[in-house]
Chain A
Amino acid sequence: MKQHNCQNNDRLAVKMRSTNMSKRLRIVLAKVGLDGHDRGIKVVARALRDAGMEVIYAGLWQTPESVVRTVADEDADWLGLSILSGAHMTLVPRIMTLLREAGLEDVGVIVGGIIPESDYPKLKELGVARVFGPGTPMDEIVRFLRQHPRSHSSAEGAGKE
């Protein structure tokens, strides 16, 4: 009986911890501008959900302004942009500026879609954490997000701007 109880205790401890809404990654996924190809972003959304993250799917035809507002109101750790229209060198700089103006520079930004490799360094220079091209295994995105925790979502980081 004693041993049985002990086992129950262990299980209880695990159960209580897992229901304690531990720090689950929150990521906003959005497509910006006039680009209707949303198959890729939906696959990524599903993969991140299956990896235990909270995915806020903002979907098609977002503006830089609306994306930044969504990131702020949802208190997201990450913003994932999918761009297949070729307009990334116009849209991404605008979004990075707006994020900074909103005091959201601690939010990580990743970009996916059709991006010429020659633009990767330019995007990185703008502050994009990583660009994922076509054919990226989903595990790679998940691993990247997990290995680069953002500081802002703890109570400690909560006060600083």
Chain B
Amino acid sequence: MSDSLLQLIDRYRNKDRRALSRLLTLAARGEHLSEILAAASVPQSKRIPVVTLTGSAGVGKSTLTGKLIELLRRKDKRVAVLACDPQSPLSGGALLGDRFRMPTTPDEGVFIRSLSSAGGRGAIAEHLPVLLKLLAGFGFDVILLETVGAGQGDTVVRDIADVVVFLVQPETGDDLQWEKAGLLEVCDIVVIHKSDLPGAEHAEAQLRSMLELSSGPIPVILRVSSKTGSGMEELWQAIERAADSEHVRRDAGRELLRQVQEFLSARFVQLEEDAALQQLVADWKAGEVDLNDAARRLVDLLLTAGANPRSSP
């Protein structure tokens, strides 16, 4: 480990905000992931809920995130926000415009980081579990995660968050659109946002009648307006209840699984020049090994690479 990284980790542990910011950059790029993960230890006793806000583009995720920050600061809670926006598939660049809609007054209790997210990654940035760990280890009380404008299939957020809030708005389409929405099946809370607009009550009625047909647990449905502030307090109470609920504790093992996934992807990147790995991927692409075999061989390869001391946690 280089001296500068050690210093950085040391400063991070001493709650130096600049060090946190730098480590987030390194982790988002996939650099030094295992060292950073090891540095960001969170006491098991302290639960720091990760609350995901998701929904289609323009539904008001950033605005609602901004309002939640204000509400949480009034309750004296320290808030960290990770806001994801899409990366251009052509240039790789990104226009990150989420914090534009959030409070701007500098405040030690608020940290906002914008992240770009490549297509096909389920509406969130890479290496997110490491970023979340870094923020949790820094002493924030709540972490808000805003996804890119997401649609119907991006259910991967369920694995990352303790509480999933799915935003919809009035006049989204007829009730068949609700039937299709996969996020409705995995979220804890559905917010009918912009509830000051006409049609909010109708949307709620449609949603309720649809969800009552499902066999699984029914999410909490709330009408919220960021414009008037109505429903905000109820939303926070619902988030707290969901964070304390049984299923979050039951899913705790997933966190371990997530860490293992991060270790494996970090090793995959470290090994990108490895001849055996290149050969395996080439064989798979050429159709010479089937997917199951290739996957098993890949796991073996990544694990045997553990002999390299740099890649061990």
Interface residues of A (CB under 8 A from B): 1, 4-5, 8-9, 12-13, 16-24, 26, 45-46, 48-59, 61-63, 65-66, 68-70, 72-75, 102-103, 153, 155-161
1/0 contact trace for B1-34 toward A, CB 8 Å?
0111111100000000110011011101111100
Q: Kindly identify which residue among B22, B91, B118, B282 contacts A52, using a CB–CB cutoff of 8 Å.
A: B91
Quick check: A50 and B93 within 8 Å, CB to CB? yes
Q: Known contacts being A50-B88, A72-B18, is A156 close to B114, with CB within 8 Å?
A: no
B281 partner residues in chain A, CB cutoff 8 A: 8, 12
B116 partner residues in chain A, CB cutoff 8 A: 24, 54
Q: Known contacts being A74-B113, A155-B4, A158-B5, is A8 close to B93, with CB within 8 Å?
A: no
CA gap between A21 and B31 in the complex, in Å:
9
A61 partner residues in chain B, CB cutoff 8 A: 104
Quick check: B282 and A8 within 8 Å, CB to CB? yes
Interface residues on B, range: 35 or more
Q: Which residue from chain A places its CB closest to the CB of B105 in the assembled complex? A: A66
| CB proximity of B69 to chain A, nearest CB, Å | 13
CA gap between A55 and B29 in the complex, in Å:
16
Centre residue among A22, A153, A159 by max chain B CB count within 10 A: A159
| 31-88 of chain B: CB within 8 A of chain A | 31-32, 88
A24 partner residues in chain B, CB cutoff 8 A: 92-93, 116
B272 in the interface, Cβ–Cβ < 8 Å? yes
Quick check: A51 and B93 within 8 Å, CB to CB? yes
A74 partner residues in chain B, CB cutoff 8 A: 21, 113-114
Interface residues of B (CB under 8 A from A): 2-8, 17-18, 21-22, 24-26, 28-32, 88, 90-97, 99-100, 104-106, 111-114, 116, 118, 126, 269, 272-273, 278-279, 281-283, 285-286
CA gap between A68 and B95 in the complex, in Å:
19
B93 partner residues in chain A, CB cutoff 8 A: 24, 48-55
A48 partner residues in chain B, CB cutoff 8 A: 93
Seed contacts A8-B281, A73-B112, A158-B5; 10 additional CB < 8 Å A-B pairs = A13-B278, A16-B272, A24-B92, A52-B91, A54-B96, A54-B114, A56-B99, A65-B105, A155-B26, A155-B31
| CB proximity of A44 to chain B, nearest CB, Å | 11
B95 partner residues in chain A, CB cutoff 8 A: 45-46, 49, 55, 57
Q: Kindly identify which residue among A5, A13, A103, A155 contacts B286, using a CB–CB cutoff of 8 Å.
A: A5
A5 partner residues in chain B, CB cutoff 8 A: 282-283, 286
CA gap between A4 and B278 in the complex, in Å:
14
Q: Kindly identify which residue among B22, B100, B278, B285 contacts A158, using a CB–CB cutoff of 8 Å.
A: B22
CA gap between A24 and B269 in the complex, in Å:
17
Q: Which residue from chain A places its CB closest to the CB of B111 in the assembled complex? A: A73
Q: Which residue from chain B places its CB closest to the CB of A6 in the assembled complex? A: B282
B285 partner residues in chain A, CB cutoff 8 A: 8, 12
Q: Could you write out 27 A-B pairs with CB less than 8 Å apart? A: A5-B283, A8-B286, A12-B278, A13-B273, A16-B269, A17-B272, A20-B30, A20-B272, A23-B29, A24-B116, A49-B93, A49-B94, A52-B88, A52-B91, A54-B96, A55-B93, A57-B95, A57-B96, A57-B97, A68-B106, A69-B106, A70-B99, A74-B21, A155-B2, A155-B31, A155-B32, A159-B4
CA gap between A53 and B88 in the complex, in Å:
10
CA gap between A64 and B146 in the complex, in Å:
26
Q: Which residue from chain B places its CB closest to the CB of A156 in the assembled complex? A: B4
| CB proximity of B23 to chain A, nearest CB, Å | 8
CA gap between A18 and B87 in the complex, in Å:
13
Quick check: A156 and B2 within 8 Å, CB to CB? yes
CA gap between A26 and B93 in the complex, in Å:
9
B30 partner residues in chain A, CB cutoff 8 A: 20-21
Centre residue among B7, B93, B282, B286 by max chain A CB count within 10 A: B93
